[in-house]
Chains A and B, each alone.
Chain A
Amino acid sequence: MLSSKTIRLGTTTAVLFTILSFAGEYTFAEQRPERIASTHLCTDQLLMLLAEPERIVSLSYFASNPDMSMMAESARPYPVNHGLAEELVLQKPDLILTSQFGSPSILILKSLGYQVLSVPVALTLEDIRENIQTVADAIGVPDRGREVVRQFDFELNQVSAPFHEPRPKILIYEANGYTTGKRTLQSDILEMAGFNNLAVDLGISGNQYLPLEALVIHPLDALMTASDYEQNSLAYEVPNHPALRSAFENVPTVNIPGKIWICGTPFVSDALRLLTEFRIEVVQSVQ
């Protein structure tokens, strides 16, 4: 493992020929990592929320993509990585954050002795709280973690539905006719906003193709699309099938950009706010 001392030294000497110390006395838990890299969009955002900017050595190249990242602007000043082992070795991180489905470079870096934290994909709001605290503890800022979680809970409270009946039936219509059901962050948030996710009633779990017939049998109160882009791609076009058209006709529709909740970050409260407002509209239009 690299000690923080040699790393500070390393930044001032020639990058290529710094001798790394592989001293055995250093263990991760005892010393706070000072040079942190992230190779995954989701950990990029958690890291920016929690760490002091000078401790971030690089973020994945997705972090500054405004179509995918909620923090594209903030990410711009940081160096980027493409998940390549060689880049990361050059950046000399003493902690690398990644997701469960991170880049394969993580394994080679692990075997080279780098400290790696693999953060699971968040499927519930509780997962988000846990992930925030996990990252905060790992980078030695547990108090900052608790503060971010507290702030997150406060925002959720501010924007969640004040009443829970009636629960309009809603469906998420995604690119190429996919929908989102059980065991997803989206479903958790729809629930909290006072909606009833039709996909869950249909027994759909995760991201699955939408059965057209079921849709005709169960009429919708509301529809949610998930377009990230200003210009609609063909995949996102409102469906042309007659059965779908009649199901979607005159149904109030909201668009929640996918980037809000593709990652489990506190920004999902924005989605909750948009959905809570939308539900009030829907309930009023029904009455």
Chain B
Amino acid sequence: MNVHTHKTTLSYRALMLVLTALTLIAFICSLSVGPAGIKTVDMLYALLSVEPSTAAVIVQEIRLPRALLGLLIGAALGLCGAAMQGYVRNPLAEPGLIGVSASAALGAVITIYFGLSAMYVWILPFGGMLGASIGVAVMMAIAGRESSALTLILAGVAVSTMAGALTSLALNLAPNPFSSLEIVFWLLGSLANRSFEHIWLAAPFILAGMALVLTLGRALDSLSLGEDTAATLGIDLRSVRLKIILGVTASVGAATAVAGAIGFVGLVVPHLIRPFVGHRPSRLLPASALGGAILLLFSDVAVRLISLGVELKLGVFTALIGTPIFLWLILRMRHQYV
């Protein structure tokens, strides 16, 4: 009997190894691609160089923060998507479900609207993170303390809708065509032109949030059997709910605040990975984090390679490739979720 067990463990290790290797490859690709056309070997040399050559400035100050953010944000979206789907036991859940993405976007847009974002790098992401916190606080007030996953979804939808409406209002009242263009471009999501200041600001929240969510594996496993059975298995549902809200708010809020709304990664990645981990939520969490990082890093490479005169926005690209993947998944899985 134990032979079985060891076999699954081994294949899980193999999966994690493959995903880690792919993440590394995607990260190196991200460092290697850009208008400067630096060869991968030269890029690695420039990465480690201490001399302030143009190549070193480009690789260390422009491409490295971009690749690191791709890694962090992709992982946060993949992880939180998997956690949300596990928590509400609904394969259509996405990380922004509790209203965090929409309110982070609103906070960021407000800083653009008032022309504050051009003053310092940190103002826009800070506005985004503030927006996320306020949005989620409102969501929790609406949902109440003892809420089930369903009321959480409904309150999240209410907050998302409100934040979306206020974002549209900001666009509607934008003082001039340039600020509306800036808002629209920001909303489409991008990792271009991000600096280490973005990382110092967002990474602590993203990492802390992810750490919190990663502790929920076992609770999410038992939630496969519903909230009642999970509770009788010793799971404290209130603490799980609080942890998932705080974890997702910190990591997805900070991710959205820095990169704008990047859809579909958190929705699609858990689906792609789930069959490889025997559909177990606990194993899906770390695997989905790596999967999200891979998808986002490669997407960010693709937007730089696809030449349409101007760089494609990352959020547009992930939606463009995410939708067909999602449709294919729905068709393939239709029998499972009837």
**Chain A residues packing against B (C-beta within 8 Å):** 10, 15-20, 22, 40, 61, 82-87, 89-90, 92, 99-108, 111-112, 118, 121, 184, 206-209, 262
Contacts and interface: CB of A to CB of B under 8 A. Distances in A.
A22 B57 CA distance: 12
B193 A85 contact: yes
A16 B38 contact: yes
Contacts of A20: 52-54, 57
B115 A101 contact: yes
B337 interface: no
Interface in B116-133: 117-118, 120-121, 124
Nearest to A107: B121
Complex A-B, nearest 3 residue pairs according to Cβ-Cβ distance, in ascending order: A105-B193, A101-B178, A108-B195
Interface in B93-140: 112, 115, 117-118, 120-121, 124
Chain B, interface size category, equals 35 or more
A17 B53 contact: yes
Nearest to B59: A86
Given A82-B309, A105-B192, 15 more contacts: A15-B54, A17-B54, A18-B53, A86-B35, A89-B36, A89-B57, A90-B35, A101-B118, A104-B117, A104-B124, A104-B192, A108-B61, A111-B195, A111-B197, A206-B173
Contacts of A17: 53-55
A61 B112 CA distance: 22
B58 interface: yes
Secondary structure dominating the interface of A: loop
A82 B115 CA distance: 21
Contacts of B53: 16-20
Contacts of B51: 19
Contact of B35 (A10, A84, A102, A108): A84
B165 to A, nearest CB: 16
Contacts of B173: 206, 208
A262 B193 CA distance: 26
B118 A83 contact: no
B91 to A, nearest CB: 35
A232 B17 CA distance: 57
Given A16-B55, A90-B36, A103 B175 contact: no
Contacts of B179: 101
Contacts of B42: 16
Contacts of A86: 34-36, 58, 62-63
A17 B94 CA distance: 45
Contacts of B36: 16, 86, 89-90
Nearest to A98: B118
B52 A22 contact: yes
Interface in B142-192: 172-179, 181-182, 186, 192
A184 B176 CA distance: 9
A83 B192 CA distance: 9
Nearest to B118: A100
Contacts of A18: 53-54
Nearest to B57: A89
Given A16-B38, A90-B35, A103 B57 contact: no
B177 A262 contact: yes
A151 B186 CA distance: 38
Contacts of A89: 36, 54, 57-58, 62
16 contacts: A16-B38, A16-B54, A20-B57, A61-B309, A83-B193, A84-B193, A86-B36, A86-B62, A89-B36, A89-B62, A90-B54, A92-B54, A101-B176, A101-B181, A104-B117, A108-B121
